[in-house]
Structure 1
Amino acid sequence: MRRFLRRLRHGRTDPPEGFDRRLLVPMVLGSILNPVNSSMLAVALIPIGRAFDAPPAQTAWLVTGLYLATAVGQPVAGRLVDAFGPRRLYLAGTALVGCAGLLGVLAPDLWILVASRVLLGFGTSAAYPASMSLLRAEADRTGTKNPSGVLAALTLANQIVTVAGPTLGGLLIGAGGWYLVFAVNVPLAAACLVLGALRLPAGGAAAARTRTDVLGMALFAGSLTMLMTFLMAPAAQRWYLAAAGAAAGAAFVHRQLAVAHPFIDLRVLGGKLPLLATYARQFLAYTVTYTFLYGYGQWLQDGRGIDTASAGLIQLPMALAAIAITVPTGRNPRVRGKLVAGSLVQLAGCAALLLLGPDSPVWLLLVLAAVFGVPHGLSGLANQNALYAQADPERIGASAGLLRTATYFGALLSAAATAAFFQDGATTAGMHGLAWPMTGAALLLLAASLADRSLRGVGRDG
């Protein structure tokens, strides 16, 4: 028995012939850390703003801080997973999540709270590429060409957590205040550490060492930070931020094409047009999703006058609709129909946002949340299946990290949009204004899904 426990602790028990189901729980639990922290905040922004006497334009930095960190952290984590194996990165990342949760609970002001969100962003960047790497290794071991059932389980968990986050956040805030939205990371991280140490296999690295393009990372982070600082409060006198961000971005692209070991290998992406299209669709889909999550959650409290716990419950149909659509479609690896249907439903939801008012009936609020749950369930699942089919097997960790980066670019744009339209608070006029850029993104998603002929072959032989 002692020998067995020692082998289990170091991940050296003999795996079963089929997919090792022991890996599924830590994979799912680790991969949901980012979406749960993203979506719980949707109903916490108003209480946090009241606690620190900060307007929505400032509390939006709680969103931006996390996604700036994850936009940088995901490619880094993906490369490190490919180089050192998933187990080490999984454990290090989840430990950082627990530390970030403690810092958030103890934060004396808004900007320390923003710092805790930055730490959360870096900490939550490791588990998803680690999970995708483990999935690829299991597929190779078992000879499963397209493990769509396991992909569906991962996607379903992430979809549910993302859209159920506002409800969970509302209940936590109602039970003990906004501090609990940060404190919940401590037990979640502890569970990930225990399960990861016991169940994840050691090793799996493609190489013992990897070179880090520190200058490339700095240019990438600097470009994003300056552009987001401008977009969060755009003004003519702040033109230099946009110019500097664009210049840093151009320098980043030049360096990535010139160095032997770039931070993001743009030369590889340049030869993968279908994969680039998948990243673009992910960006567009989640721009709409996160703009709705953050905008709707704040409007329900300020514009409609609903308390935080009830605002979270009103968004519960979004989670239920996502489950209802993902469960029957999850094992089907075909993607094109899902993307087209999802973008059409998104367009219908954006049009319905224009019907909102201070006296909108509760049934309409519930139906609207359910409408946005359908495309959330379809688009995320379709893009993940497309990524799995299109990415190089030996670069699956980095490719998965970049898919999450595309997601976070969408969230960054949504944070800038809510900051711009909610400058005077989360008013009904601001919510109507948000509906127009959301409509534009949904139209682009529909056009991209219809125009991409490569999607016709994805999933046919899975």
Structure 2
Amino acid sequence: MGVRSWWLMIAVGLGVLLNPLNSSMISVAIARLQNVYRLDFASVSWIIFSFYIASAIAQPVMGKASDLFGRKKIFLTGLVVAFAASLLAPLSPNFGWLIVFRIVQSIGTSMMVSVGMAVVRIHITEKQATALAVLSIFLSGAAAIGPFIGGVLIHGWDWPAIFFVNIPFVAASFLFAWRSIPNDEPPASARNMSIRKWLELIDAPGVLLFTAGLVALLVGLLSAKSSGLISFRYVIVGLVGLIILGAFVRHELKATSPFIPLRTFARHPAMTWVNIEFMIVNVLFYSIFFGLPSYLQMVRHVSEFHTGILMLSLGLCSLVASPIAGRWIDKSGPRPALLVSAILMTLGAVWIVTLNESSPVISVCLALAAFGISNGLNSVGMQAALFKSSPKEIIGVASGLFNTSRNLGAILSSLLTGLVMGDKFSFGGFRWLGVILTVIALSLVFMSWRRRKPGQWEELEFHK
């Protein structure tokens, strides 16, 4: 790659890393935010929910927007939005406003993730595989070291620092992107597009139904658990959420440009099962990713700094395992790697059940290492399984659904942790979480063991 291509890679990389960095740094800030705003654990979990719900919605919408309005414009706009959110979030007068700025931050960083890969694919024509590998390092590396960075920042400068740290990244990315990303003119059809046509293209009704239904369901479930009362009001809110989600499914089956193309799942069962497995994988991973820091800080009273250091064992194991997984999967296919990953997750979950309030630190590191290695195997293995199970003509749609499954898995993991813990993160609750994760991991082992070989789904459909 030439010098200009490397500057473009740096510009895009500094932008796309902001989403995984901010989604991971918050894991060591939960305990601090709970104390600052005097909230129960279920309520403070919305700092996680809000980010992933916004990402799940913004990434596909902004991907469509970039095709109409230009990728460079969307990328630069995302940087401006992320800058404003990172600057204003520490000034939030209450937790509600912090959630608002967290959502804005998620939208801004999602704009860059949505178009970053496309920018690299279009404008770097030499050694494109190398360029994409470098970009994946920005993404996975930021997620891996996020808890460590967050721990160091909170220990030295308190929780606002995890927002202010974005500003130099944003400034550098904006400067490089302005100069290195070529201008791309939107297609002629976009210049005269009406607002109604644009809303139809992004499936605005579907987005609204999905958001309203999911939020209402979460509010109903978490409020009941947090208060300890199953009141008529909470039941009604949860039921309304379910009804809205039912309306969402009905709308998506009829929409010409659906937000989540549900009919695609029905037509391609092998791809559907890959997405289901990936969602379960992320429920397991993010339950540990957000649960263990809270266990260390709230139960073991470990500082944010040392919590961040301990969490490095998860991130570093994940980074080391990924390239090894790539070579293994190239030779043997995804099934063996995914089976080993599921077994490691089971062992890690069982190990968590055996922890007590005075377990040696090495025990925590072993559990984190097991989940870190499994995450490295899954990050490559699930992607390979997706490519094997998805027809080439819908690979773009399949990739979008794959990212949606990741975000939904993260949301479900936060919901699971919030329901188990309720108003207070406790050692007993953490042990119960480990038991539930063990059961989920065992189901994943069974699914991986029973995984069909490529082509068997097609044979099954043909005989039907």
| TM-score normalized with structure 1 length | 0.86
Partner amino acid, structure 2, of 1:349: G
**Corresponding residue for 1:106?**
91
Choose between structure 1 and 2 for higher RCO, CA contacts under 8 A separated by at least 6 residues: 1
Task: Name structure 1 gaps, 5 residues minimum.
Answer: 1-14, 458-462
Equivalence for 2:410: 411
CA, structure 1 residues 447+330, in 2 after alignment: closer, same or farther (shift >3 Å)?
same
Of 69, 91, 113 in structure 2, the residue corresponding to residue 128 of structure 1 is 113
| Structure 2 CA distance for partners of 1:284 and 1:28, relative to 1, 3 Å | farther
Please name the residue that 1:221 is paired with: 211
The C-alpha deviation readout for 1:201-231, integer Å capped at 9, x for no partner, is 3328676355332211111111111111123
Question: 2:145 matched to 1:164?
Answer: yes
In the superposition, relative to structure 1, how do residues 72 and 373 fare at CA in structure 2: closer, same or farther (>3 Å)?
Answer: same
- Segment drifting more, 309-318 vs 439-448: 439-448
**Could you list the per-position Cα deviations for residues 330-372 of structure 1 after superposition, in whole angstroms to 9, with x for gaps in the alignment?**
4655433322221111111000001211111122222222222
The corresponding residue for 1:326 is 322
Q: Distance in 2 between matches of 1:281 and 1:95?
A: 36
Kindly state the Cα deviation for residue 136 of structure 1 after the two structures are TM-superposed.
4.7
Bigger drift between 169-178 and 399-408 goes to 399-408
Taking the aligned partners of 1:43 and 1:312, their CA distance within structure 2 comes to 7
Q: Secondary structure at the match of 1:453?
A: coil
1: CA distance, partners of 2:455 / 2:311? 34
| Structure 1 residue corresponding to 2:298, chosen from 287, 297, 302 | 302
Choose from 45, 53, 56 the match for 2:41. Answer: 56
Among 264, 280, 302, the alignment partner of 2:260 is 264
The alpha-carbon distance between structure 1 residues 200 and 387, as it changes in their structure 2 partners (threshold 3 A), is farther
* Matched positions, count: 438
C-alpha contact 1:233 1:420 (8 A) present in aligned 2: no
- CA shift in 2, pair 1:82/1:131, >3 Å: same
For the 8 Å contact 1:42–1:297, the answer to whether it is kept is yes
State whether residues 257 and 267 of structure 1, in contact with CA within 8 Å, keep that contact through their aligned partners in structure 2: yes
Flag the 1:307–1:72 CA change in 2: closer, same or farther, 3 A. same
Identity %: 27
Query: What's the CA shift string for 1:298-348, capped at 9, x where partnerless?
Result: 110111121111111111111121122123334655433322221111111
Task: Please give the per-residue CA displacement for 1:142-188, whole angstroms capped at 9, x wherever unaligned.
Answer: 697xx4x5554444443332232111111001110011011112222
One-letter code of the match for 1:224? L
Distance 1:204 1:267 in 2: 33
Q: Deviation digits for residues 47-75 of structure 1, max 9, x if unmatched?
A: 11111112212211111111121122122
- Corresponding position: 1:81 with 2:63: no
Secondary structure of residue in 1 paired with 2:256: coil
Match of 1:178 among 135, 145, 159: 159
Question: 1:429 matched to which residue of 2?
Answer: 428
Asked whether the 8 Å contact 1:275–1:391 carries over to 2, the reply is: yes
Of stretches 266-275 and 163-172 in structure 1, the one that deviates more from structure 2 is 266-275
1:236-385 alignment runs, 5 A limit: 237=232, 238-330=234-326, 333=330, 334-385=333-384
The answer to whether the 8 Å contact 1:225/1:245 transfers is yes
**Superposition deviation, residue 261 in structure 1:** 2.7
- Counterparts in 2 of 1:441 and 1:88: CA distance versus 1, 3 Å: farther
Greater alpha carbon shift after TM alignment, 295-304 vs 29-38:
29-38
> Matched residue of 1:124: which SS?
helix
Alignment partner, residue 31 of structure 2: 46
Tell me whether 379-388 or 37-46 shows the greater mean CA deviation: 379-388
Asked if the contact 1:281–1:445 (Cα under 8 Å) also holds between the matched residues in 2, the reply is yes
Instruction: Report the structure, 1 or 2, having the larger helix content.
Output: 2
Q: Is the 8 A contact 1:132 1:396 kept in 2?
A: no
Amino acid at match of 2:72: R
Q: 1:33 aligns with which of 18, 27, 37?
A: 18
Closer, same or farther: CA 83–384 of 1 in aligned 2, 3 Å: farther
- Give the Å deviation of 1:46: 0.7
Tell me which amino acid in the other structure corresponds to 1:354: V
Match for residue 227 of structure 2? none
Name whichever of 323-332 and 294-303 sits farther off: 323-332
Residue of structure 2 equivalent to 1:443: 442
